[in-house]
Structure 1
């Protein structure tokens, strides 16, 4: 098996496993590679420590100080800054409007820009975003609550106005 992981008995793609790792980083302070193995196993994903080690390198995870004085893995800050710059540029070039209904924020953009906006918002790892759907000229961002959807709408509008 090339990537060393299975979910529900089927081979899991590296991209999907790394998405799980990003989710784990948002929800947990993880200070050891073994913690990733344990947490992924709880999700039904069997993975080796060697695979996690390769993922950490590829994802360029770094250890940062936690509030309790220990160190935990995190996504690199520079990657976040680069993604934010890309999101800002893409929104400034393509933004048409934004609207909120319940926990959903709909961002209307120029044709062809929807998938890029969705991808960049996913890369931002906003904790209040539940999921995304990208169409040709729109991005539907599903948040955890109406308050979160309004927050995202404000962020998007501030980016476009600045």
Structure 2
């Protein structure tokens, strides 16, 4: 990745990027690499001549919706949630917390048990579809159960982790 001529050097000799430029660079790094630690992203940025602190990286990752996820082989990696808006995801998280009662994965399929209030499964399935989460191929909903299809086991694990993380702790 090349750093353009229009970026000035900071006092530490590295390249100065404003927040927007730095976050765009971080997002691109996550798209092109498998990142397992925040130190790894710091090292890549330093190799590119960008000097930032661990605290700045943490804030940028939170703003970019980059979260820890488990792979099928048990390794932890960071992945960026591709979101329409942060507000839509916050609503999803709230609805998961309030209405998801159980979660199970069978290969590339997640089964979500919801409260039977007002056919809530249909509402949550529609929200998942509207967010166009790349790891979700499609959903089917009944009155209190959602079947979430993914293309493979790894994508299903990603969806499981996303939902499980936001469930009421007393139900886990």
TM-score (norm 2): 0.47
TM-score (norm 1): 0.49
Structure exhibiting the larger radius of gyration computed from Cα positions: 2
Normalized per residue, which structure has more strand?
1
